[in-house]
Structure 1
Amino acid sequence: MRILAVSDTHGDDLILQELLVQYPDLDGYFYAGDSELQASNPLFQTYHAVLGNMDFDRDFPKTCTETIQGTTIFMTHGHLYGVGFGRNELTEAARAVGARIAIYGHTHVAMAEQHAGVVCINPGSISQPRGELRGLGGTYALIDVDGKAVTVQFASRKGIVPELTQQFN
């Protein structure tokens, strides 16, 4: 299974369209909030999307849980789960629905880490990056699940950044 995760585009819908063209045949597309677009935007017929703190269309759900090829994914924007202070609340919410992967946004900082068996992934912000990787000009994540292994590759608008690849078992 291979999925794409992106977050915090803050009005840049063109990058979401470009990613669909670049990766047309993935098993899932996940958008972790702060699009500043309408929930009725046709992009969200492809991307599973959640409400961010800068989204004003309340038709976005606060969380999303999807199971693809036997792997359950939990997604939220992160502001409702205190991700700026740690991943405990996020991990508990993901475990409550049996998720192996938790995707979140909000901090604009790309990272992947494992907590209590849940791989927590923030794809960063493709439009307004923060943190050590901000020099890349924005990031998103490609997530592969093969058996028990979860591989996370971070990419910029220029493509995959191999040295940022992480694998979790």
Structure 2
Amino acid sequence: MRIVVFSDSHRRVSNVLKIIERHKNNADLFFFLGDGNDDVDEALTMYPDIKIERVSGNCDFSSVYPASKIIEFGGKRFLITHGHPYYVKHNLYNLEREAKSVKADICLFGHTHIPYIENIDGIRYMNPGSAADGRYGIIDTENSGIMMYHSEV
């Protein structure tokens, strides 16, 4: 199973389109972590059939999406969030508490624009970096385990 994770596109629709185009045939699911939901809406006019879950960021002023949510997919429990409600620019303490509280297997966040992958107390964390800068993340899960890595357009 492959999940493509991106965040913080900030009106760089061209990068969103590149990410989707590259993975539209090999991704089972896309996660968008906020700050560019209008960009995703625009991309979905070209790719209406992709499966995408998303949340709102602090710059998605009129978005109807929540700031975070729990997704069960492929036998894993994901906490996806933009990150600003948990003050991730300062540290991950609040995010870690929330991930543990909801019993997440994988926690995905954006907001900082800095790519990050870590395993903390059995929970895997990923920040894909900023799609505006051409960065995104990939999660491959198989019976043998989970692989998380960063990529660029």
**TM-score bracket relative to the smaller structure:** 0.7 to 0.9
Q: Higher RCO, 1 or 2 (CA under 8 Å, sep at least 6)? A: 2
C-alpha contact 1:48 1:64 (8 A) present in aligned 2: no
**Root mean square deviation, CA, Å:** 2.2
Q: Which runs of 5+ in 2 are unaligned?
A: none
Matched residue, 1:34: 35
User: Which of 143-152 and 32-41 deviates more?
Assistant: 32-41
Superposed displacement of residue 41, structure 1:
5.1
Matched residue, 2:88: 83
**CA distance in 2 between partners of 1:16 and 1:126 (Å):** 7
Matched residue, 2:147: 151
**CA distance in 1 between partners of 2:74 and 2:37 (Å):** 30
C-alpha contact 2:9 2:39 (8 A) present in aligned 1: no
CA pair 148-120 structure 1, distance change in 2 beyond 3 A = farther
CA pair 71-36 structure 1, distance change in 2 beyond 3 A = closer
What is the aligned-residue identity percentage? 29
Matched residue, 2:79: 74
* Partner SS for 2:149: strand
What letter corresponds to residue 14 of structure 1 in structure 2? S
**CA distance in 1 between partners of 2:137 and 2:18 (Å):** 14
Matched residue, 1:133: none
**CA distance in 2 between partners of 1:100 and 1:83 (Å):** 19
Superposed displacement of residue 38, structure 1:
7.4
| 1:55 corresponds to 2:48 | no
| 1:126 corresponds to 2:126 | no
Q: Could you tell me the TM-score, scaled by structure 2's length? A: 0.85
User: Which of 17-26 and 109-118 deviates more?
Assistant: 17-26
CA pair 8-98 structure 1, distance change in 2 beyond 3 A = same
Matched residue, 1:141: 137
C-alpha contact 1:39 1:57 (8 A) present in aligned 2: no
Superposed displacement of residue 58, structure 1:
3.4
1:32-64 deviation digits (Å, cap 9, x = unpaired)? 110051786563973211111111123121112
User: Which of 68-77 and 32-41 deviates more?
Assistant: 32-41
C-alpha contact 2:33 2:80 (8 A) present in aligned 1: yes
CA pair 15-46 structure 1, distance change in 2 beyond 3 A = farther
Q: Which runs of 5+ in 1 are unaligned?
A: 129-137, 158-169
What letter corresponds to residue 155 of structure 1 in structure 2? S
Give the length in aligned residue pairs: 148
